[in-house]
Chain A
Amino acid sequence: MTPRHVQLDGEGRLRHFITTEGLSRQILTEILDTAENFATVGSQKIKKVPLLRGNTIVNLFFEPSTRTRTTFELAAKRLSADVLNLNINTSSASKGESLLDMLRNLEAMGSDMFVVRHNQSGAAQFIAEHVAPHISIINAGDGSHAHPTQAMLDMFTIRRHKPDFTRLRVAIIGDIMHSRVARSQIHALNILGVPEIRVVGPQTLIPQHAAHLGVHIHHSLETGLKDVDVVMMLRLQRERMEGALLPSAEEYFARFGLTQAKLALAAPDAIVMHPGPINRGVEIDSSVADGAQSVILEQVTNGIAVRMAVMSLVLGRGPRSEEAAP
C-alpha cells in the first residue's frame, strides 16, 4: 500500500503538482478543462486575468532551460502573479543542506509557489516534503523522473485533435530510459484510459521493466507505428550517442528517425508531437516536423494555458487553513 502522495491535500485536491502518477482521471480532466478556459486568454488583446493577483511565484531552476521557464513565466504573468526567476548553478548548491537553506530564505520572502526544475530525480518531491505548508511546488522537470506539466500539455493537445482517449493507440518513440517526459506521459495516458500505449526504441534506451508502467515495448519503428493515432517523439540527447548506448546518430535515424515514409504506417490522420527542442535529422525529419500532421507548435502554445490551469488550481483551492501540515 502506498501512503497518500504529498501532492494531494486532505480533500484529495492538488496542493503540489509533482507527478502524474497516481492521480485520478477526474483531476487530470479538471486540469484539461480549466486549460480549455484559459486557452482563449492568449488570443485576447489584453492577455491577462486577475486570478493570482498578489501571489508571488518563484521559478527555481537548478538546470538551464529557456523554453519551459519562459512558458511558466508567461503563464504566471497572465494570471497576474508576481514572478521571480532564479537560475541556480547546481555546483554551488548540490548539497541538501544548502538546498534547504535556500528554501528557507525564499520562504522568508513571502512566496506562494515554487516552480522547480532540478537534475535529480525526486528533487521536487523532496522540496515539497520540506517546504513551509503555505507554499506549493510545481515540478518543471526532475532528473529522469517526471515532467507533469509537459505531459498535461501533451494530453491537452491530443484531446483537441482526438477527443476520446479511450479509442486511441499512442506510440512514444525514442529515449524512454532517460526521459522524464515519457514517464509522465505514460502515467497520464493510462489514467485517461488510452487502451494501447507503445514505447518504441532500441533496447538500450528502454528500461527492462518498462512493461510495468503499462506499455507495450517495440524495438522496431515499423511495428511500433502501425495504425497509431498519436506519435509522440522524444528528444535524443547528444551524449547518448557518444557512449555505449547507441552506435551513431546515423544508425539511430535509419532505425528510429521519423520520416514521411515511416509515418505513412500510422493511421492516416495521426498527429505528430515532440516536446522540443527538436534534433532535426536525428529523431525526426524536417519534412515531418514541419508537415501537415505535426502539432509541435500547438504544443508550445498550449503549454501556457495548461500551466495557467495548474497554477490556478493549485493556488486557488480556497481557504488555506484546512490544510494539514506537510
Chain B
Amino acid sequence: MKILIKNGRLIDPAVQTDRIADLHIADGRIIAQDQAPDGFSPDQVLDASGLHVIPGLIDLSARLREPGQEYKGTIASETRAAAAAGITTLCMPPDTDPIIDTPAVAEQIIRQAHDAGFARVIPLGALTLGLAGEQLAEMALLRDQGQCGAISNACQPINSAHVMRSAMEYAASCRMTVFLHADVPDLSHRGVVHEGVVSTRLGLRGIPEAAETVSVARELMLIEQTGVRAHFCHLSSAHSVRLIARAIADGLPISMGVTAHHLHLTEMDIGFFDSQCHILPPLRTQRDRDGLRQGLANGEIAIISSDHQPHDADAKLAPFGETEPGISGLETLLPLSLRMVDDGLLSLPALLAKLTCEPARILGRSDIGSLQPGSRADICLYDPEQPWTVDPSRFVSQGHNTPFAGWELKGRVTHTLLDGRQVFGPQP
C-alpha cells in the first residue's frame, strides 16, 4: 500500500520542521518528504490542504480496562477511540486484572491490540509482583518476552523504601525506565479531593500537597543513588514540578508528565460535588495549575498524557466520595493540549513535541514519533480551525465520563494512519 499525503502542513517536532510539503508512504513506513521517490505511484492520495500533518500521538498512560473490566472498556473499543483521537501508540499501566506481572498477560494484550488493529499498545510491566510492593516482578522477562516498554507500579504504593530502592537498582541494571506515580497513601489517606478551600467547604476528605511532594522527594533521592531512568507521571502540584526540575538541572536521568485535564481544571471546578471532577491525583489550586502550565512552557514537563480512565455510567453516579476517579481522556487529549498554544504558552511544534517525539524518547523508541523517512507511518491529520463542542454521548470510547462536556475546542482529527494503514477517517 502506497499513500501520498499532499499539500498538508507538515509539523515534525523531532527535527523542528514546519512547512507545507507532501509525504510519501510505502510498506508502513515514511519513505520521503517533498519529491516522490522514483517510480512511486500511490494507491491512495489524501489531500491535506488546510490540515496539519503530525506524527501519530503517543500517550504514556491510558487504561483500556481489558483484561478485567470489560464493562468499562475493551482493548478494541478504546484503541478505536485512540485512533479517532489521532493517538497511534498507547502505554497501558499494569493494574489490569490479571495484573501485567507476567509476560503472558502482556503478550495477550499485545495480541488483542494487534487483532483490533487500531493502535499500538505498549504494556507497562509491573514493578513488583501483584503490584503489592513486596517482591520484584520479572522485569527483564516482561521486557524481552512481553514487550513491555517500561515498568511501573501503577497507582499502587511501594511503601517500603528498601523495596523501592531494590526495584530501582534492578531496573537500572536491566536498563529499564521506571514510571512513577507520586503518592504517599499514608498522607493522601483515602482523600478524594485536594486538601484546600474546596475540601474545607464541602467537607470532603482532602489529599494534601505533601502526599505528592514527599513521595517525589523520596524517589528523587533513591534515583540519585541508584541511577535508574525514571519518569514521573501526571503531576498535580507546582511544588513537585519545581523539585523535579531542580533534579533534572542537576543531571538526574528523569522526566515528568502532566495530564491534559490538569492543565485546565482546578479544585474550583468541583463546584457542588461534580463527580466528573473526581480525579486522582486531585485537581489542585489555580497556582498549581499555573505552575504546571509554566513547567510545560519552559520545557521542564516533557509530555502530556490523557491518563484515560473510561468508566461505566454508574461509576460516577453516587455521592462524590463513593464515585470512581478518572476521566475518559483520549478524545480530548489533542484539542485540550492545543489550547496551550492558543493561550500563548508555547509554540505549536514545542507543544506537539510533548505528544510525539518526547514520549517516544522516554520509551526509547526511535521508530515512532517523527515524520522522517524511515519512521513508521503513524500519522495524524487534524483540522486546526474547525471548532467543535465536546459531547460525551458521541465519544467513541466506551467511557463517557468527562468534565469537559460542552467545552468548545479546536483541533479535530480527520485521519489517522497506523503503520501506513488508515485506521480513522473517511474511507477513500
A contact residues vs B (CB 8 Å cutoff)? 2-3, 5-6, 21, 94-97, 99-100, 118, 120-123, 125-126, 130, 142-146, 180, 183, 207-210, 212-213
Contacts and interface: CB of A to CB of B under 8 A. Distances in A.
Given A99-B318, A125-B319, A209-B200, 9 more contacts: A2-B271, A94-B322, A95-B322, A97-B314, A120-B320, A126-B319, A126-B320, A180-B203, A209-B197
Interface in B266-305: 271-273
Contacts of B205: 144
B41 to A, nearest CB: 58
Nearest to B320: A122
Q: Which of A6, A123, A213 is the most central at the interface, judged by chain B CB atoms within 10 Å of its CB? A: A123
B201 interface: yes
B199 interface: yes
A94 B322 CA distance: 8
A213 B196 CA distance: 11
A3 B199 CA distance: 19
A95 B199 CA distance: 22
Given A2-B271, A96-B314, A213 B320 contact: no
A130 B323 CA distance: 15
Question: A-B pairs with the 7 shortest C-beta distances?
Answer: A96-B318, A144-B203, A122-B273, A145-B203, A120-B319, A123-B319, A207-B200
Given A94-B322, A95-B322, A126-B320, A145 B271 contact: no
If over half of B's interface residues share one DSSP class (helix, strand or loop), that class is named, otherwise mixed; here it is: loop
A121 B271 CA distance: 13
B317 interface: yes
A213 B317 CA distance: 28
Contacts of B196: 208-209
A5 B272 contact: yes
Contact of B201 (A97, A143, A183, A208): A183
B406 to A, nearest CB: 12
B272 A143 contact: no
Contacts of B318: 95-97, 99, 120, 126
Nearest to B324: A96
Given A96-B314, A208-B195, A122 B319 contact: yes
Contact of B319 (A3, A96, A209): A96
A285 B320 CA distance: 38
B202 interface: yes
Contact of A212 (B201, B203, B271): B201
Contact of A96 (B197, B204, B317): B317
Given A21-B201, A207-B199, A96 B322 contact: yes
Contact of A125 (B272, B317, B322, B323): B272
Nearest to B204: A121
Q: Which of B196, B197, B202, B321 is the most central at the interface, judged by chain A CB atoms within 10 Å of its CB? A: B202
A6 B273 CA distance: 12
Q: Which of A118, A122, A145 is the most central at the interface, judged by chain B CB atoms within 10 Å of its CB? A: A122
Contacts of A94: 322
10 contacts: A96-B317, A100-B317, A118-B319, A120-B319, A121-B319, A121-B320, A125-B319, A126-B319, A143-B319, A209-B199
B195 A122 contact: no
A273 B370 CA distance: 70
A146 B205 CA distance: 14
Contacts of A207: 195, 199-200, 206
Nearest to A122: B273
Interface string B163-197: 00000000000000000000000000000000111
Nearest to A90: B322
Interface in B210-247: none
Contacts of A5: 272
B197 to A, nearest CB: 5
Contacts of B321: 120-122, 143
Contacts of A213: 200-201
Nearest to A19: B272
Contacts of B195: 207-209
Contacts of A100: 317
Contacts of B204: 121-122, 143-145
B322 A146 contact: no
A145 B322 contact: no
Interface string B402-422: 000000000000000000000
A210 B199 CA distance: 10
A6 B272 CA distance: 9
Q: Which of A5, A21, A209 is the most central at the interface, judged by chain B CB atoms within 10 Å of its CB? A: A209
Contacts of B199: 207, 209
Nearest to B318: A96
B203 A121 contact: yes
Nearest to B193: A121
A231 B196 CA distance: 27
A42 B319 CA distance: 36
A97 B201 CA distance: 26
A319 to B, nearest CB: 27
Contacts of A212: 197, 200-201
A30 B320 CA distance: 31
Contacts of A3: 271
B277 to A, nearest CB: 12
A3 B273 CA distance: 12
Contact of A145 (B197, B202, B317): B202
B322 A143 contact: no
Contacts of B319: 96, 99, 118, 120-123, 125-126, 142-143
